[in-house]
Amino acid sequence: MSSLRPTLDFLLYDWLQAERLNGRARFADHSRETFDAVLDTCERIAREKYAPFNRLIDTEEPRFDGEKVILPQATHEAHRAYVASGMVSAAQDYEEGGMQLPYTIEAAAGTFFGTASVSMGSSLLTKGNANLLMVHGTEMQKAVFARNEFGGRFTGTMCLSEPQAGSSLSDIVTRATPDGGDFEADPLGARYRLKGNKMWISAGEHELAENIIHLVLAKIPGPDGKLVPGTRGISLFIVPKKLVDSDGRLTGERNDVALAGLNHKLGWRGTTNTLLNFGEGKFPVRGGAGAIGYLVGKPGEGLRCMFHMMNEARIGIGMAATSLGLAGYYASLAYAKDRPQGRPVGPAGKDPAQPQVRIIEHADIKRMLLAQKSYCEGALALLLYCARLVDEQHTGTPEAADEARLLLEVLTPVAKSWPSEFCLEANSLAIQVHGGYGYTRDFPVEQYWRDNRLNMIHEGTHGIQAADLLGRKVVMEGGKGLALLAGRINATIEKAIQRPDLSEHANALGQALQKVGAATKSAWATGNPSDALANAVPYMQAFGHLVIAWTWLDVLLALPAGSTRSADEGRVRATRYFFHYELPKIPAWLRAVETRDPTCATMPEEAF
Amino acid sequence: MSSLRPTLDFLLYDWLQAERLNGRARFADHSRETFDAVLDTCERIAREKYAPFNRLIDTEEPRFDGEKVILPQATHEAHRAYVASGMVSAAQDYEEGGMQLPYTIEAAAGTFFGTASVSMGSSLLTKGNANLLMVHGTEMQKAVFARNEFGGRFTGTMCLSEPQAGSSLSDIVTRATPDGGDFEADPLGARYRLKGNKMWISAGEHELAENIIHLVLAKIPGPDGKLVPGTRGISLFIVPKKLVDSDGRLTGERNDVALAGLNHKLGWRGTTNTLLNFGEGKFPVRGGAGAIGYLVGKPGEGLRCMFHMMNEARIGIGMAATSLGLAGYYASLAYAKDRPQGRPVGPAGKDPAQPQVRIIEHADIKRMLLAQKSYCEGALALLLYCARLVDEQHTGTPEAADEARLLLEVLTPVAKSWPSEFCLEANSLAIQVHGGYGYTRDFPVEQYWRDNRLNMIHEGTHGIQAADLLGRKVVMEGGKGLALLAGRINATIEKAIQRPDLSEHANALGQALQKVGAATKSAWATGNPSDALANAVPYMQAFGHLVIAWTWLDVLLALPAGSTRSADEGRVRATRYFFHYELPKIPAWLRAVETRDPTCATMPEEAF
């Protein structure tokens, strides 16, 4: 993990100039020193409490003893250390007990946990859950639920999917009915009884904290007793595992939320992934049927509230994928510097009496290392850029905040999907660098690869992200978001083109931008969404490559003129790798998009 | 597995016209009926004895109880059924107890086992081992070792790698010294004592058969007691786990071959993968030090003998990778036909009161299924073509046999590497089609993906295959192999270009061929191997895509004119997918090759 800190420092301070955030009122007390103190603390906790146990949590998968879910002791200790550091509430207001830390720094600090042991968790969902309540909850809901989540007493989940409704949330059938005539009088919020099953619920059951606060999407039946079809009918509820009073104290009553099963996954095994039954009578509560839940926001606005949380979660998944990619890069780099095998190509390597060289001296090993560096550091830069946009959205001038919002709309699907695909590929290369050792469980890289395979699925699959990007984000508000992004990319090009060492890249980026723009138009030329979206994933792959190429070129503009530092040479090389080996893939992906190729969409089922 | 048989039938009979092989004297007794009987038998054994236990062998990994390696009972039963079917010796002469089955049919039959449970094994190494002895062994070695392997009494291994020498075989240090003054008089072959450690030995220890016959590469020290550096010093030895007499009976003596460790892998867990110690004194034998081994062939010719076995093994690995890809394709196709989720894009899908559609109706799911079909059936076709070349090499006219040999030289690295990369990608798509269910161990696809990850490494890594292809095969004999392949590709183009429905593909293939040819020249333009080979892997990726595109186009030429069969429509679509979505990637890979891009090769170590 030796290279992560200097990489973060460079991206945060030399490139994004994060220390300037203290010019904003919210961050006025901060400085590079306070930021560094946070990074130091997280780096230390991750090194001491997370990294040593990453293999343990893979082999000692969560299990249910009939009453409780058993997690390794190390997971409890890591969670305690994380909570004690104050990181759960770091971004919150001082008056909430937070430290008003910029999200940029919080996101950067998160990579220490992600590289050390991604599935031990860093309270991503708890933070998202509590943040949602801070925006959409009542004062009482904030005080009772959100604050106790920030304080570490409670953890949080998000319960969207159901066994029959994964990507298609409009088809959920969890039902919420008013709980008695006085249901609206409950100080914790209008009280409902929920019945239904929720699938893929991360951290849905465990003993890490006093209580688990589920945020649950459910439908309130209409007067005819039927559920409203579609997403309009969806409302949002707080469903605590154990009931609490209006001071946040446990009442001693278990709510009717029961673990129906643990999903046994190929990776990411440190976190439980559960099927939960709500209101099926396992734990009857207060003499009624159904789990007790409290409405958040207005009926029918559940999905809108939840989307607030999902965008944050998506950036978090991108960061997790990137962290795993970086972990594999560092592991394979260390291995390549250590492992002797073979001799140089050509005359110099012909003498077998000479000792073997370390594999980092072979061109193909360097290629695989440079590809990893280029993918993972590029993704890291993009995600920090997005995090910086989040801070801009919250603390910038109205105009800058709106631009940041729009850019985030366009960039979020890329920030979630690109790392989940290409940092997974990086993990595969990390295995390959290790040769046979890479596929054994004696080395960490195979676990990174397995852990990373979830990221292309959870929090919205690749297909969902691609439909979001091409179907909504690049066309919304008259294409304003895309135009804004193009403006930023062009600004980078204009600077780079004046530099003899960067003008070739600048031209290549300009052509790629032009090509992606034209493909966007061609995709929509018939105005028919099924034509446009038939090749949405290849579009997103090309779009992502454009964005990462832009990010790298922009990063290079931050290098000191005439730098002779090795790290800067590394950045120049990683950029060159991306422009020479990766950017040329864009036309291949866009070919199908431009032509609205119907080969797949019109494939008859019986022909498979 | 419902679609495998008709696919094999089409490729074998409609495309490769395998039944014409009975025009050759060796296969004169055969007919489509006898071939079909073999396929029927293998399909049944795979369905009954392999497929039901594929998850079991993943969860009940081989373990060592201190004395023996324990494998699940199911593995023993599968092995017995396979041996009883006569498939181990199917390709051997009648007088050897074989059925003189063409390799083409044997390879096709192997896919049933590969799709059912790849790591339960189908005696790939035993066959390769025994085949090698049939070519390079003495009459006694054939009788005692090879025949008992073909008969199922013994199994075989190949022991090449050592902990310090994986890809770099010239660096092995296992030492073989003459065993006494009469060492040359042993009827089983010149007798040596071996000392050393062998790593990654598949099926290196188990109780499936009476004995295990190790084929071991080792060096005979020179008069100065030193090992000859490089591959020139390597010799080949038969080292049985248990000693046998010249009638093949066990003498009751355990040879000094000891299990030093089982490798714990991320996949392919049905087969042991071992570290073996030879001659370290665990089982002292006949009062001397070292494991007893019998020389095969001449001293110093070990690698040449072993290469005979490695090419076969490499085609076998390509077939295993392809089988895993197909297994994932069939599983995800069945899932997609069954799983309702979401609604069509566009106006038709706007009404949430309508029931959900099955996911196979979504364009992006079709894309992922068609990609799998295109990769895996394309790879299957190539591998059967290679198998047909093996038969040609053995039974064709001298001219045809030599052409087949040369084509195999060029195609073997592709046949090994391309499926291991792209059928792995197919397995990832199979997971993706399943959504969250895909990453759980309740569905088979995550195991296919893990099992397949070994194939890019064992039997020569991707890097080794690429160096073999660009560094040796396309330039050997003055580029004759490449020219021959180009001739075959051009012959396909010439036929296809006359067909209005195929002329577009034919033109695209012609351009790709031209581009690969030009890149080959550019790579070698300086004559410097380190320039040429710096981008050997991207070259191999492009080359592989060219070969698969050619294979698909040639397959289409075998369709009956005006066919309206769904299966043929599927082949047309899979080809179109490959030409529209995959072939355009070639220029991106070749860019670095053509320019001999030094970005990776000259990357300074400290800049990573």
pLDDT surpassing 80 at residue A436: yes
pLDDT band at A77 (very low <50, low <70, confident <90, very high): very high
Which of A122, A141, A162 represents a domain boundary (last residue)? A122
> In sequence order, what DSSP letters do the residues of B314-336 get, joined into one string?
HHHHHHHHHHHHHHHHHHHHHHH
Buried b (16+ CB within 10 A) or exposed e, A233-263: bbbbbbbbbbbbeeebebeeebbbbbbbebb
| E strand spans, A344-383 | none
Contact check, Cβ <8 Å, B588/A592: no
Q: Of B3, B461, B607, which has the smallest distance from its Cβ to A432's Cβ?
A: B461
pLDDT at A484: 98
Rounded Cα distance between B248 and B146, Å, is 10
Whether A235 contacts A301, CB under 8 Å: yes
The C-alpha angle with vertex B417 and arms to B412 and B422, in degrees rounded to 5, equals: 135
Residues of chain B with pLDDT under 70: 1-2
Distances (CA, A) of A51 to A1, A109, A113, A429, B497: 10, 15, 8, 21, 59
Q: Which two tokens stand for residue B336?
A: 């997609």
d(CA A342, CA A361): 10
pLDDT computed for residue A459 by the predictor: 92
For residue A185, what are the CA distances in angstroms to A214, A218, A249, B170, B311? Answer: 21, 20, 19, 82, 78
B279 and B131, same domain (yes or no): yes
Query: Both B516 and B391 in a single domain?
Result: no
The C-alpha atoms of residue A422 and residue A449 are separated, in whole angstroms, by 11
- Bridge partners (DSSP) of residue B234 are B219
CATH number at residue A372: 1.20.140.10
Chains A, B: CB contacts under 8 A, how many? 276
The C-alpha atoms of residue A460 and residue A561 are separated, in whole angstroms, by 42
Whether B505 is covered by a domain: the verdict is yes
CATH number at residue B284: 2.40.110.20
Query: Do A57 and A7 belong to one domain?
Result: yes
Residues of A in contact with B353 (CB under 8 A): 229-230
Could you tell me the end-to-end alpha-carbon distance of chain A, in angstroms, rounded to an integer?
Answer: 46
Task: Say what the pLDDT of residue A346 is.
Answer: 83
Q: With bands split at pLDDT 50, 70 and 90, how would you rate the model's confidence at A313?
A: confident
Q: Beta strand pairing status for B291-296 and B191-202?
A: antiparallel
Q: Which of B168, B432, B601 sits opposite A356 (nearest CB)?
A: B168
| Residue A108 to chain B, least CA–CA distance (Å) | 20
H helices of A124-223, where? 124-136, 139-141, 147-150
Task: Taking the CA atoms of A560, A562, A564 and A569 in sequence, report the sign of the dihedral they define.
Answer: positive
Half-sphere exposure (Cβ direction) of A477: Cα atoms closer than 13 Å: 13
**Helical ranges in A455-502 per DSSP H:** 462-468, 476-497
The catalytic residues of B are 459
- Would you state the pLDDT for residue B1? 39
| H/E stretch holding B80 | helix B73-84
The domain boundary, picked from A236, A266, A299, lies at: A299
Residue A188 has a pLDDT of 98
Residue B367 is nearest to which of A366, A467, A600, comparing CB atoms? A600
Residue B158 falls within a domain, yes or no? yes
Confirm whether B608 is domain-assigned.
no
Same domain, B497 and B372: no
**Do residue B569 and residue B580 come from a single domain?**
yes
| Residue B145 per-residue DSSP state | I
Q: What pLDDT is attached to residue B309?
A: 74
In this structure, the answer to whether residues A15 and A89 fall within a common structural domain is yes
**Is residue B256 within 8 Å of residue B271, measured between CB atoms?**
no
Q: Please give the Cα distance from A107 to B253 (Å, whole number).
A: 64
Mutate which of B263, B274, B364, B447 to test chain A, going by most A C-beta atoms within 10 A?
Answer: B364
Contact A493, A432 (CB under 8 A): no
Instruction: Judge whether B496 lies within some domain.
Output: yes
- pLDDT exceeds cutoff 70 at A2: no
Instruction: Point out the domain boundary residue: A393, A425, A460.
Output: A460
Does one domain contain both B195 and B230? yes
| CA separation for the pair A563, A565 (Å, rounded) | 6
- At a CB cut-off of 8 Å and minimum separation 6, what does B185 contact? none
What is the rounded CA–CA span in Å between residue B359 and residue B374? 19
Burial, B540: exposed, middle or buried (Cβ in 10 Å; 0-12, 13-18, 19+)? Answer: buried
Residue A451 lies in a domain: yes
A564-593 pLDDT tens trace: 999 999 999 999 999 999 999 999 999 999
Hey, which residues does B244 pair with through a beta bridge? B250
Query: Which residues does chain A have within 8 Å of residue B443's beta carbon, measured at their own beta carbons?
Result: none
B446 plus B494 within the same structural domain: no
The distance of Cα B585 from the centroid of its chain, to the nearest Å, equals: 25
Nearest-CA distance A83 → chain B (Å): 29
> Which residue in the set A366, A584, A585 is minimally distant from B601, CB to CB?
A366
Whether residue B368 sits in one domain with residue B358: yes
In a domain, B607, yes or no: no
Q: Which two tokens stand for residue B303?
A: 């690698």
CA distance B286 to chain A (A): 35
Asked whether the beta carbons of A372 and A325 are under 8 A apart, the reply is yes
Q: Which of the four pLDDT bands, split at 50, 70 and 90, describes residue A309?
A: confident
What total of structural domains would you count in chain B? 4
CB contact under 8 A, A165 and B534: no
Q: Say whether A588 and B588 touch across the interface (CB within 8 A).
A: yes
Q: Which amino acid is at A108?
A: A
- In the numeric block, the tokens 């949602």 are attached to A132
Question: Can you tell me the distance from the alpha carbon of B202 to that of A589, in angstroms, rounded to the nearest whole number?
Answer: 40
pLDDT of residue A490: 98
Domain span at residue A30 reads 1-122
Give dist(CA B469, CA B462) in Å, integer: 10
Strand positions, DSSP E, A53-113? 63-64, 69-70
Nearest to B161 by CA among B196, B124, B120, B119: B196
Q: Which residue in A459, A477, A504, A569 is the catalytic one?
A: A459
Tell me: the pLDDT tens digits for A113-165? 999 999 998 789 999 999 999 999 999 999 999 999 999 999 999 999 999 99
Rounded CA separation A115/A392 (Å): 27
The closest of A329, A324, A326, A334 to A359, measured between CA atoms, is A334
Please answer yes or no on whether B580 and A597 come within 8 Å at the CB atom.
yes
Pick from B64, B19, B248, B2: which is nearest to B144 by CA? Answer: B248
Residues B365 and B384 in one domain: yes
User: What six digits make up the tokens of A288?
Assistant: 């009624």
CATH code for position A86? 1.10.540.10
Minimal Cβ distance to A607: which of B439, B566, B585: B566
Position A363 pLDDT exceeds 70: yes
The whole-angstrom distance between A241's CA and the closest CA on chain B is: 24
For A329, the closest chain B residue by CA position comes to B608
Q: Looking at the structure, do residues A525 and A589 belong to the same domain, yes or no?
A: yes
B272 and B356 housed in the same domain? no
- Nearest in space to B417 (alpha carbons), one of B476, B459, B475: B459
B337 within a domain of the structure (yes/no): yes
Q: Which residues contact A222 (CB under 8 A, 6 or more apart)?
A: A228, A233
- Spatial separation of the C-alpha atoms in residues A597 and A530, rounded to whole Å: 11
pLDDT at residue A350, as a whole number: 85
Contacts of residue B591 in chain A, CB cutoff 8 Å?
580-581, 584
Outline where A207-362 has alpha helix (H): 302-338
CA–CA separation, A425 vs A89, rounded Å? 34
Q: Is residue A36 part of a domain?
A: yes
- Residue pair B322/A148 in contact by the 8 Å Cβ criterion: no
A1 pLDDT more than 60: no
Least Cα separation, residue B459 to chain A (angstroms): 10
Chain segment B199-250, per-residue pLDDT in tens: 999 999 999 999 999 999 999 999 999 999 889 899 999 999 999 999 999 9
Write out chain A residues lying below 8 Å of B606, CB-based.
Answer: 566
CA distance A592 to A477: 26
Check CB contact under 8 Å for B346 and A528. yes
d(CA B124, CA B87): 11
Choose among B193, B175, B196: nearest CA to B183.
B193
| Rg for chain B, CA atoms, rounded | 25
- Please answer yes or no on whether A530 and B346 come within 8 Å at the CB atom: yes
Burial (0-12, 13-18, 19+ Cβ within 10 Å), A606: exposed
Nearest-by-CA chain A residue for B165: A341
Q: Output the pLDDT for position B443.
A: 98
Residues of B in contact with A597 (CB under 8 A): 580-581
Q: How far apart are CA B322 and CA B448, in angstroms?
A: 11
Are the Cβ atoms of B370 and A603 closer than 8 angstroms?
yes
Cα(B91)–Cα(B130) distance, rounded to whole angstroms?
Answer: 12
> What Cα–Cα distance (Å) separates residue B186 from each residue in A349, A561, B69, B192, B300?
39, 75, 31, 10, 20
For residue B490, count other CB atoms closer than 10 A to its CB.
15
